């Protein structure tokens, strides 16, 4: 393997990146006046900034590292989760008007207006738990793996590189988020998106060029197809129902449930749209984010398959690991290995900056969203009437607390293995998403859904989801196999489990609603699809202008084209 040491040019590029981010955080941090400024950038962001922020918030180092790992180990199986650009059309078309017209700062605040304070509190707590134990831990762990692979000897040992990388990036991101707030995040989103896209395109192109053995990237793509055909069952987009991990029916059930929760109801993403200067801009920003979201399959997942093909042809050597006594490719090291083996000095620094951009933008968005959830949804309820300056300071303290909690959770991630970081992330989200998705979908489109039903579904679904996650961690084949019931729950496919949890949540939601009084008029007026059209139908219709329609159509064509191509690419 090529020496992974970093040259002076590499370090210069990385230093310039940090200098730019630091300057922007300082510059925009000076302008923070109140909590609206800190959390929503004063509600005056343009659609490019909104869309780029949505994209960079989603694309963290766990995507670049984890998706490449999934590409090397499971081919196109996880591509369905990265083709969720079509769900951003739902966000722009149906959800954004509700959130934006209500004037809320957080999604749980919207839930209180539609249902009650208890529903809001439950969603806030669940969201904070999810952020700390999935997004922070997985993102930081992925970033630490990159440091471990790229700088194995810089800090004395590979383990030292892991911890230095993890703590340094978390601390620096926390500092610039604390002082810069949403304005700094929005200002850095566009350059970070550019760095992420350029860096990933470069590694994809150079990988294909090497695979093509001097005949060019197109020849490399043809060689990738030919090599993948030798292991067609493991690399196809659609898997048979007998597949133990990714049966096509399970994918079709679980993927949209997780996608609607993540893209349409999660504070982490929706907060970007709420920062727009008007409704039309908010919708266009969501659609622009969807246009950017089309590309991760090609620039993050495909490089993993390229790495696997290069390994199969003996052109590079990927690290191996033992899983159930069998030696297999360590998928989470594929992308860093491609960087160290394919790229010359200078370009390697650019890719490291790309990974840092992904890590820091994702964590920064997470820290800020967590702070806003705590400040607006919990602290203000306990300490009402505080000044905007006081709330701004509380938000900064809350951000610092999330940074610390994220750092404390890192050691736990050291022992997580199995199907890879990205698959782990999707399985955990599959146990958190169903009740939230059910409450928002039915709550927006059915006036009869009331607060009792929402509380039953949110609380019951969360408890059942955590029960499944606990069983999966400790019970099942090769773990604790008695009692048999708990082992069966632990082994139950995570995709089907997401569907079962969704159905149970819907049942609890309907049962709780129909066995209690209908919601009062003030809980539905302007807060359901039919009523908001009656109140602001003209404004909503005019904000869905020709530009937004063209963007939505382009997204649908691109997603459909990718699905059609990869459905038959190995035939």
pLDDT digit string (tens) for 415-445?
Answer: 444 556 777 788 888 999 999 999 999 998 8
E runs forming strands in 407-556: none
pLDDT score, position 3:
43
pLDDT at position 416: 45
Q: What is the residue extent of each domain of the chain?
A: 8-214+261-422+546-568
Separation CA 148–CA 132 (nearest Å): 22
Mean pLDDT throughout 324-349?
A: 78
Give 187 or 160, the one with higher predicted confidence: 160
Q: Quote the Cα angle for 165-374-59, to 5°.
A: 40
Q: CB count, 10 Å around CB of 525?
A: 13
pLDDT band at 256 (very low <50, low <70, confident <90, very high): very high
User: Cα(442)–Cα(119) distance, rounded to whole angstroms?
Assistant: 14
Chain centroid to CA 564? 24
pLDDT in tens, 274-302: 778 888 898 999 999 999 999 888 888 99
Q: What's the CA gap between 149 and 12, in Å, rounded?
A: 19
Highest mean pLDDT range out of 230-244, 502-516, 538-552? 502-516
Residues composing the chain: 571
**Rounded mean pLDDT, 313-327:** 76
DSSP 20-43: HHHHHHHHHHTT--SHHHHHHGGG
Task: Please enumerate in sequence order all residues whose Cβ is within 8 A of that of 214, keeping only pairs 6 or more positions apart, or say none.
Answer: none
Identify whether 483 is preceded by a cis peptide bond (ω within 30 of 0).
yes
Name the nearest CA neighbour of 123 among 351, 461, 401, 471.
461
- Looking at residue 325, what is its pLDDT? 66
Q: Which of 543, 471, 563, 557 is nearest to 96 (CA)?
A: 543
Check residue 566 and give its pLDDT.
95
- Look-up of token digits 């809350």: 398
Q: Which residue has the tokens 């590499």?
A: 10
Phi/psi of residue 231, each to 5°?
-135, 50
Per-range mean pLDDT, top range of 124-128, 267-271, 273-277, 448-452: 448-452
**122-125-131-134 Cα dihedral, nearest 10 degrees:** -80
Residues 6+ apart with CB under 8 A from 78: 67, 70, 246, 301, 422, 423, 426
pLDDT for 38 equals 47
Predicted pLDDT of residue 266:
81
**Could you count the other beta carbons within 10 Å of the beta carbon of residue 16?**
12
**How many CB atoms are located within 10 Å of the residue 421 CB?**
27
Report whether 52 contacts 193 (CB < 8 A). Answer: yes
Architecture label for domain 8-214+261-422+546-568 = Up-down Bundle (1.20)
| pLDDT tens per residue across span 16-75 | 877 877 777 667 666 555 444 544 444 556 788 888 878 877 776 677 788 888 888 888
Structure tokens at 250: 């399970």
pLDDT score, position 510: 97
pTM greater than 0.75: yes
Strands 320-323 and 326-329, bridge-based pairing: antiparallel
Mean of the per-residue pLDDT values of the chain:
82
Cα–Cα dist 192/53, whole Å: 9
DSSP string, 114-174: HS-HHHHHHHHHHHHHHIIIIIIHHHHHHHHHHHHHH-TTTTSSHHHHHHHHHHHHHHHHH
Region 66-86: what's the mean pLDDT? 89
Between CA 426 and CA 433, with CA 430 as vertex, the angle to 5 degrees is 120
């Amino acid at each position: 393997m090529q020496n992974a040491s970093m040259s002076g040019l590499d370090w210069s590029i990385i230093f310039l990146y940090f200098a730019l981010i630091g300057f922007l955080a300082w510059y925009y941090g000076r302008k923070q006046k109140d909590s609206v400024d800190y959390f929503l950038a004063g509600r005056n962001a343009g659609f490019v900034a909104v869309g780029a922020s949505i994209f960079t918030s989603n694309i963290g180092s766990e995507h670049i590292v984890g998706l490449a790992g999934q590409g090397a180990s499971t081919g196109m199986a996880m591509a369905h989760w990265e083709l969720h650009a079509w769900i951003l059309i739902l966000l722009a078309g149906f959800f954004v008007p509700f959130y934006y017209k209500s004037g809320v700062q957080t999604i749980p605040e919207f839930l209180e207006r539609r249902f009650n304070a208890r529903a809001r509190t439950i969603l806030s707590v669940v969201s904070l738990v999810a952020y700390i134990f999935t997004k922070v831990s997985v993102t930081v762990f992925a970033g630490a793996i990159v440091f471990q692979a790229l700088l194995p000897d810089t800090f004395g040992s590979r383990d030292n590189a892991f911890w230095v990388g993890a703590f340094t990036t978390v601390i620096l991101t926390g500092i610039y988020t604390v002082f810069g707030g949403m304005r700094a995040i929005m200002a850095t989103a566009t350059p970070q998106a550019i760095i992420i896209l350029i860096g990933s395109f470069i590694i994809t192109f150079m990988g294909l060029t090497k695979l093509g053995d001097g005949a060019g990237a197109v020849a490399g793509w043809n060689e990738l197809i030919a090599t993948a055909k030798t292991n067609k069952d493991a690399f196809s987009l659609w898997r048979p129902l007998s597949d133990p991990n990714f049966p096509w029916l399970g994918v079709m059930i679980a993927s949209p449930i997780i996608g609607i929760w993540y893209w349409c109801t999660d504070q982490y993403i929706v907060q970007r749209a709420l920062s727009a200067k008007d409704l039309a801009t908010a919708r266009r920003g969501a659609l622009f984010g969807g246009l950017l979201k089309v590309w991760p399959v090609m620039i993050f997942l495909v490089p993993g398959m390229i790495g696997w093909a290069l390994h199969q042809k003996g052109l590079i050597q990927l690290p191996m690991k033992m899983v159930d006594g069998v030696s297999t490719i360590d998928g989470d090291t594929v992308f860093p290995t491609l960087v160290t083996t394919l790229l010359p000095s200078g370009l390697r620094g650019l890719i490291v900056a790309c990974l840092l951009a992904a890590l820091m933008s994702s964590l920064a968005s997470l820290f800020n969203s967590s702070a806003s959830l705590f400040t607006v949804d919990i602290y203000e309820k306990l300490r009402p009437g505080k000044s905007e300056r006081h709330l701004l300071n509380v938000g900064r303290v809350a951000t610092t607390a999330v940074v610390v909690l994220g750092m404390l959770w890192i050691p736990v991630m050291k022992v997580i293995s199995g199907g890879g970081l990205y698959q782990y992330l999707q399985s955990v989200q599959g146990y958190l998403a169903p009740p939230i998705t059910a409450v928002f979908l039915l709550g927006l489109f059915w006036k009869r859904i009331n607060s009792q039903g929402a509380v039953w579904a949110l609380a019951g679904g969360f408890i059942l989801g955590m029960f499944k996650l606990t069983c999966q961690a400790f019970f099942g084949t090769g773990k604790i196999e008695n009692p048999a019931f708990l082992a069966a729950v632990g082994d139950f496919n995570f995709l089907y489990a997401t569907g079962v949890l969704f159905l149970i949540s819907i049942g609890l939601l309907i049962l709780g609603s129909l066995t209690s009084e209908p919601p009062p008029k003030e809980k539905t007026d302007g807060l359901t699809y039919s009523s908001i059209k009656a109140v602001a139908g003209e404004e909503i219709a005019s904000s869905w202008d020709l530009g937004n329609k063209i963007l939505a159509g382009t997204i649908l064509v691109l997603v459909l084209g990718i699905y059609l191509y990869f459905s038959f690419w190995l035939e």
